[in-house]
């Protein structure tokens, strides 16, 4: 069964990015789930099992920084990925006002 989690860290403060909106959708635009990161910058999204295929996670990074009075470059960050039978997917996001980094976590 596939289960998707994410964790956002604000690299400028070294703290979890709390209250960031996150949307999960198929690449064709079909919505799957949405939520907001908790006080630890974490969020579990979607059903317990995602069908194989291509997906996108869209993070509301611009609103997060605006809410802190910080100018930023990326209004949203979209990370695309493929589900191919994996039991668990973890997609972390390291965030700053003018850059971001991601990888397939465990």
In this predicted structure, what is the pLDDT of residue 35?
A: 97
pLDDT digits (tens, 9 = 90+) for 5-50: 999 999 999 999 999 999 999 999 999 999 999 999 999 998 888 8
Contact 58, 23 (CB under 8 A): yes
Is 26 flagged in the annotation as binding?
Answer: no
Q: Please indicate if the annotation marks 100 as binding a ligand.
A: no
- The DSSP annotation for 47-105 comes to -SSPPSEEEEEEE-HHHHHHTTT---S-S-EEEEEEESS-S-EEEEEEEETTEEEE--B
Residue 42, annotated ligand binder? yes
- Tens digits of residue pLDDT in 39-71: 999 999 988 888 999 999 999 999 999 999 999
Residue 88 is predicted with a pLDDT of 85
What per-residue confidence (pLDDT) applies to 1?
Answer: 41
> Domains plus CATH for the chain?
4-102 (2.60.40.180)
Q: What is the pLDDT of residue 2?
A: 52
Q: Is 55 exposed, middle or buried (0-12, 13-18, 19+ CB in 10 A)?
A: buried
């Amino acid at each position: 069964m596939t289960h998707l989690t994410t964790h956002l860290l604000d690299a400028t403060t070294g703290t979890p990015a709390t209250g960031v909106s996150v949307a999960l959708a198929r690449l064709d635009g079909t919505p799957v789930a949405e939520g907001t990161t908790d006080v630890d910058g974490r969020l579990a999204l979607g059903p317990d099992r995602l069908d194989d295929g291509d997906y996108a996670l869209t993070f509301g990074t611009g609103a997060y920084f605006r809410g802190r009075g910080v100018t930023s470059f990326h209004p949203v960050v979209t990370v695309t990925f493929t589900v191919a039978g994996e039991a668990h997917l973890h997609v972390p996001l390291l965030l700053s006002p003018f850059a971001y980094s991601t990888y397939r976590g465990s």
